[in-house]
Structure 1
Amino acid sequence: MANELRPCPCDIGDKFDYGGRGQEVQIEHIRAYVSKPSASTDKAVIVIHDIFGWQLPNTRYMADMLTANGYIAICPDFFVGQEGWKPSNDWASFDDWLKTRQASKIDKEVDVVLKYLKEQCGVKDIGAIGFCWGGAAVQHLMLKNPHLKTGVSLYGVIRFFDERSTLLHPTFFIFAENDHIIPLEQVTELEQKLKQNCKVDYKVKIYPGQTHGFVHRKREDINPQDKPYIEEGRKDMINWLNKYM
């Protein structure tokens, strides 16, 4: 479990035993996991992984969940060949590790993915969701990238917002009440900034009793008291995407 003694911004949680229904593809210089529904669609969601990388079964499980709801889902390797974080790594090296994998430095890769989705998959509407590191990346994209329709940032460390920040797209922010990495006072401050500056729809929601990573890093059958919030978070994510895409 993540705590204040570790600089890790993602709960290690549970690693799902899940193989995935999609396939891995090469898109220019990026590897990606792509999952497509049986019926044709012109809507896609970019799934941005956490610090454990694009091959984590949990993230592919979430991508396939999107596909079950009618979306093409693509989870690119935004670390571009660099290894994801491993629980066995020395936490003292985490800050240096993170410097070479910045959530605000994914624009080149996002452009490649957008081109692929539009030219190879016939996609017109594209959204983005992200977990932890990926949640921060979604925040960056919602502030900077004009080509996306909407985004869902799940427990992304709040680092890109200031008094002048203006969202370009409707954005849903999911946070956990008991997240030691993202204190509730930071969430309150984010809400104040959004209220002052935001001209598009947004929502900030805090899920009671939950810890960082709960939507994709907790198994529903481990703690019965967590199950309703895990399911609620996933349903809320899907409903937001459906509303704006």
Structure 2
Amino acid sequence: MANESRPCPCDIGDRFDYGGRGQEIQIEHIKAYVCKPPASTGKAVIVIHDIFGWQLPNTRYMTDMLAANGYVAICPDFFVGQEAWKPSNDWATFDEWRKTRNASKIDKEVDVTLKYLSEQCGAKKTGAIGFCWGGAAVHHLMLKNPHLKAGVSLYGVIKFFEDSYSLLHPTFFIFGEKDDIIPLEQVTLLEQKLKENCKVDHEVKIYPGQTHGFVHRKREDINPQDKPFIEEGRKDMINWLNKYL
């Protein structure tokens, strides 16, 4: 169970040994990792990283996966040069660290990224996906940003957005059944509140036996029992984007 000494279980799983097929670029005041599909489709996805930042190989792996499915995929540095969290850091300092990196304070960076995607990549429809910290950021964007068309929030911390359910765009929420930081009662309440308040298409899905970070923090071969759910989560993410972008 997550506690004061270990308030986030984001270190569950593996740091992939993966270099990436895209490239690092500079867009105005932020750096970003971008990977493009072989042919332009006019569709793009902004990938929002977890606490381990924009250079985490796992997140680049997912970014490249989106590009392989026909999207210009871009993962900006939403910490804007501030250091990402390191597994070796003292977890007792985590809450103070997180206060300086607010998942609701990314609008300027998103606007810069949307401008780049439109002007430099020919994007006509753009969505957003995010993991953990980034999942909470997607929730924020789906409430606020009129220019995005769809979102997928993967194990975004629900408590950051209590009483925020009037989504502007179709949003898919992915959770693991065994996620210590996001209790199932919070997920159930989210689903209930969305049904009562949300007028756009949405879905909340719980994946049996899965822990925090399972879609991007576990290799497919980490455990034969996990493999179907890891693959299902990734497929669901792609299918949602395909449906609305």
CA shift at 1:40, angstroms? Answer: 1.4
Contact map agreement 2:49 2:134 (CA 8 A) in 1: yes
Contact map agreement 2:143 2:164 (CA 8 A) in 1: no
Residue type matched to 2:97 in 1? W
Contact map agreement 2:128 2:138 (CA 8 A) in 1: yes
Cross-structure match for 2:19: 19
Could you state the TM-score of these two structures normalised by the residue count of structure 1?
Answer: 0.97
User: Residue 19 of structure 2: SS of its match in structure 1?
Assistant: coil
Contact map agreement 1:155 1:213 (CA 8 A) in 2: yes
Cross-structure match for 1:99: 99
Residue type matched to 2:167 in 1? L
User: Residue 102 of structure 1: SS of its match in structure 2?
Assistant: coil
Contact map agreement 2:11 2:87 (CA 8 A) in 1: no
CA shift at 1:159, angstroms? Answer: 3.1
Cross-structure match for 1:176: 176
Residues 177 and 201 from structure 1, CA distance in 2 versus in 1: closer, same or farther, beyond 3 angstroms? same
The answer as to 2:33 corresponding to 1:3 is: no
Contact map agreement 1:50 1:131 (CA 8 A) in 2: yes
Cross-structure match for 2:230: 230
User: Residue 195 of structure 1: SS of its match in structure 2?
Assistant: helix
Could you state the TM-score of these two structures normalised by the residue count of structure 2?
Answer: 0.97
Cross-structure match for 2:78: 78
Residue type matched to 2:43 in 1? K
Residue type matched to 2:236 in 1? D
Residues 78 and 9 from structure 1, CA distance in 2 versus in 1: closer, same or farther, beyond 3 angstroms? farther
Residues 199 and 160 from structure 1, CA distance in 2 versus in 1: closer, same or farther, beyond 3 angstroms? farther
Alignment length (residue pairs): 244
Matches within 5 A, 1:107-118: 107-118=107-118
Cross-structure match for 2:142: 142
CA shift at 1:41, angstroms? Answer: 1.8
Cross-structure match for 1:129: 129
CA shift at 1:222, angstroms? Answer: 1.6
Identical counterparts, % of pairs? 84
How far does the alpha carbon of each residue in 1:57-115 deviate from its partner, in whole angstroms, 9 at most, with x for none? Answer: 00000000000100000000000001110000011110110011010000010000001
Contact map agreement 2:21 2:64 (CA 8 A) in 1: yes
Cross-structure match for 1:41: 41
State the distance in 1 between where 2:111 and 2:125 align. Answer: 14
Cross-structure match for 1:197: 197
State the distance in 1 between where 2:159 and 2:43 align. Answer: 29
State the distance in 2 between where 1:231 and 1:48 align. Answer: 20
CA shift at 1:220, angstroms? Answer: 1.1
Contact map agreement 2:25 2:34 (CA 8 A) in 1: yes
Contact map agreement 1:142 1:167 (CA 8 A) in 2: yes
State the distance in 2 between where 1:78 and 1:89 align. Answer: 20
User: Residue 127 of structure 1: SS of its match in structure 2?
Assistant: strand
Residues 164 and 6 from structure 1, CA distance in 2 versus in 1: closer, same or farther, beyond 3 angstroms? closer
State the distance in 1 between where 2:171 and 2:9 align. Answer: 21
Structure 1 moving runs of 4+ over 4 Å = none
Matches within 5 A, 1:152-171: 152-163=152-163, 165-171=165-171
State the distance in 2 between where 1:174 and 1:110 align. Answer: 22
> Any stretches of 5+ residues in structure 2 without a counterpart?
none
Which stretch of the first structure deviates more once superposed, 106-115 or 5-14? Answer: 5-14
RMSD of aligned C-alpha atoms? 1.2
State the distance in 1 between where 2:124 and 2:234 align. Answer: 24
User: Residue 47 of structure 1: SS of its match in structure 2?
Assistant: strand
Contact map agreement 1:163 1:197 (CA 8 A) in 2: no
CA shift at 1:3, angstroms? Answer: 3.2
The answer as to 2:28 corresponding to 1:32 is: no
State the distance in 2 between where 1:155 and 1:41 align. Answer: 28
Contact map agreement 1:164 1:197 (CA 8 A) in 2: no
State the distance in 1 between where 2:160 and 2:50 align. Answer: 17
